[in-house]
Amino acid sequence: MTAATSCSESNPFYGGYKTPHEVPPFDKIETQHYLPAFKEGMAQQVEEVDNIVRNAQQPTFANTIEALEWSGKLLDRVSAVFFNLNEAETSDEMEKIAEEITPLVTKHLDNILLNEELFSKIETVYRQRAELQLNLEQNKLLEETYKRFVRGGANLAANDKNKLREVNEKLSSLMLKFGQNLLAATNAYKLVVDSVGDLEGLPASLVEAAATGNNTWEFTLKNPSVMPFLQYSAKRNLREQIHNAYANRANADEFDNNAIVAEIVNLRVQKANIMGYETFADYVLDDCMAKTPRNVYNMLARLWTPALRKARYEAREQQAVINRENGKNTFLLQAHDWRYYEQKIMQERYTLNVEELRPYFTLENVRNGIFTLVEKLYGVQFTPVTDVPVYHKDVVCYSARDVNGDFLGLIYMDFCPRPGKRGGAWMTNFREQSFRHGKRIAPVISLVCNFTPALGNVPSLLTPDEVETFFHEFGHGLHSLFSSCQYKSLAGTNVARDFVELPSQIMENWAFEPELLALYAKRYDTQEVIPAHLVEKLVSAQQYGQGFKTVEYLAASWLDMDFHVVKDSAKVNVQEFERAAMGNIKLLSEILPRYRSTYFSHIFAGGYSAGYYSYIWAEVLDADAFQQFKKKGKTFDTNMGTAFRKCILERGGTEDPMELYKRFSGHEPDIAPLIKRRGLE
């Protein structure tokens, strides 16, 4: 313990958390605690690394690799809380701290990865690995540690190391600013409606949620507001307004991200070149299942042709509806029309209205459905926990216990939008699973979403898309909760990026299985189980619109890859680059990529640069894997559940992901089940 620690005992990050299950003491953490804890955490880890370097004994797995693995405990604690809350519950103060601390943490981590004496010891152990008699996981930790240092620049010449430090520091600050701009731009826009006539077509629940109490209604760019507006508003001019605002977020004015994107792309080219790679995509993919940009492009191309064909067919269908309804006053289908006419066709063809379904998908019901599924597949039970602190009054916590009663971990759930929360949905960790001194350290995880909130006496009613999102994120949660790994850096979701989506996406397959729907989809006001005819409509309609969904996703994946195969470090003109990239693949003008450049936070503020393809890559795996369950003819096959848990969910990143997958399925994945599921034959 350093002097700074002993003088600041009131800081809740110092020492062990004295809370149930040693969760973060959110009720005691204040913004002024973060900076001192970050600085002290970095100082402690510097001292721990120095102790490894100064150790006069021969480098061993224990005194070098394991010692490094367990270093930085305080820094891990404060980082987990701060960076997670800066996404889920930020403020002006938090953003200022992030701007100050992000480059400092980046510099600190670079100092470790570029420490020549430390790397020399790691390299010594690595070269002796054949004689060390390490077990499977120890050997993997050694390999990953050595690889992390090499990929972090440890083998570079001194001049290149300095260049890399500078690039990394700039990138970390730019990515932070990108996310701040996007959140601010999203929060800044409101479509104000002051005429009852302009509410035509909108569901009553949406109108009520938008009411200001002053004879006006405000619609925002948050998904629970903008998406149903685009689906149901009969006012084409208003659909165009809000759609254009959504599609041009952070694309102008004070929150403009164009220059930031250009500089990020530029710096990533420089980083790739410093590291000896031709492009940033080559650098990133070298550590993924896909391995090369060519493999990614080949996979995208194989899906693009049938998806584009399906989308063109859907566009023709929508244009026919427009022509039929408008006669001589007809118009050409535009991007702001797509969701509206898709919904019309769904109602016409399947007599299915999403608003018909939502009363059966209360947030509580869907949560109970997920709990039921997990109990039937894996024997795990979830119970509410009320004696732990939470970071916001709307956050709830559950304990997960195995079939034999063993404690698996805690899961926080944070469901609805608010101004300080970024958009989207994600799973994260406040503590990774590990083993210390023979004792399992249980994970503490969090699911953060932006679902349709409750309104008055009506509970939160989810759309089918939101239901799938909940199942998806819970799958990530299971990956962490079931983790049974010795080392935190290999535990849970610490796997190859194009493998990490398998546990989440396979969960989506059960969301609308009739047998499970019968157990959880109950109408909120009458408790009536969802009728068989609605289930039949929902299942029948699942393939409709897959042309649009697949094309908008693949277009974003293509855009991501194109940005990261750039070889010239000169700045790109972001809007011209995007137009050219979409023109090259002949994207329909009526469809935008799922994320345009200035709000593509997955790749410019998150960890999916040259990796957005991962979702569809993993969907090939999950479609193939789900076939293994379906072959048994059971919705809830406990034997298959056990196999998936043992082969995939428990193993984290302890082995090559393809080997883990083949151990479960008995073969390499086939793309055919995905193409069939999406109706792209």
Final residue in a domain of this structure, among 129, 155, 181: 155
CATH of the domain at 445: 1.10.1370.40
Looking at residue 5, its pLDDT comes to: 42
The answer on 281 and 195 residing in a single domain is no
Is the pLDDT score of 9 beyond 70? no
The answer on 622 and 564 residing in a single domain is no
Is the pLDDT score of 6 beyond 60? no
The answer on 236 and 321 residing in a single domain is no
Report the DSSP beta bridge partners of residue 398.
Answer: 384, 411
Does 491 reside within a domain? yes
Here the tokens at position 520 are 């959880």
Give the burial string for 636-649 (b: 16+ CB within 10 Å, else e): bbeebbebbbebbb
Pairing of β 396-401 and β 407-414: antiparallel
Alpha-helix runs per DSSP H in 573-669: 574-584, 601-604, 614-631, 638-644, 657-665
Quote the domain boundaries for residue 69: 3-155
Element (H, E) at 124: helix 116-127
Looking at residue 479, its pLDDT comes to: 98
Catalytic residues: 473
The answer on 393 and 455 residing in a single domain is yes
The answer on 506 and 387 residing in a single domain is yes
Is the pLDDT score of 496 beyond 50? yes
Looking at residue 334, its pLDDT comes to: 98
Is the pLDDT score of 131 beyond 50? yes
The answer on 389 and 310 residing in a single domain is no
Looking at residue 2, its pLDDT comes to: 44
Q: pLDDT of 227-260, one tens digit each? A: 999 999 999 999 999 999 999 999 999 999 999 9
Element (H, E) at 217: strand 217-219
Looking at residue 631, its pLDDT comes to: 85
Q: How far is CA 647 from CA 141, 228, 233, in A?
A: 19, 40, 47
Q: pLDDT of 84-103, one tens digit each? A: 999 999 999 999 999 999 99
Q: How far is CA 79 from CA 73, 86, 322, 381, in A?
A: 10, 10, 53, 30
Is the pLDDT score of 307 beyond 50? yes
Domain count, the chain: 4
Element (H, E) at 381: strand 381-384
Residue entry with tokens 């559950």: 398
Mean pLDDT of the chain: 95
Which among 556, 563, 555, 559 is positioned nearest to 587, based on CA atoms?
Answer: 555
Here the tokens at position 251 are 């694309």
CB 344 within 8 A of CB 337: no
Element (H, E) at 409: strand 407-414
The answer on 63 and 149 residing in a single domain is yes
Q: How far is CA 498 from CA 141, 504, 621, 671, in A?
A: 20, 12, 10, 15
Is the pLDDT score of 35 beyond 70? yes
Q: What are the counts of helices (DSSP H) followed by strands (DSSP E) for the chain?
A: 28, 9
Specify the DSSP class assigned to residue 151: H
The answer on 527 and 444 residing in a single domain is yes
What pTM was estimated for this model as a whole? Answer: 0.95
Q: Please count the other Cβ atoms lying within 10 Å of the Cβ belonging to residue 212.
A: 12
Q: Is the dihedral of CA 28, 31, 33, 39 positive or negative?
A: positive
Is the pLDDT score of 8 beyond 70? no
The answer on 290 and 429 residing in a single domain is no
230/244 Cα distance (integer angstroms):
11
Q: What is the mean pLDDT of residues 128-155?
A: 97
Confidence of residue 352 (pLDDT cuts 50, 70, 90): confident
Does 281 reside within a domain? yes
Looking at residue 540, its pLDDT comes to: 87
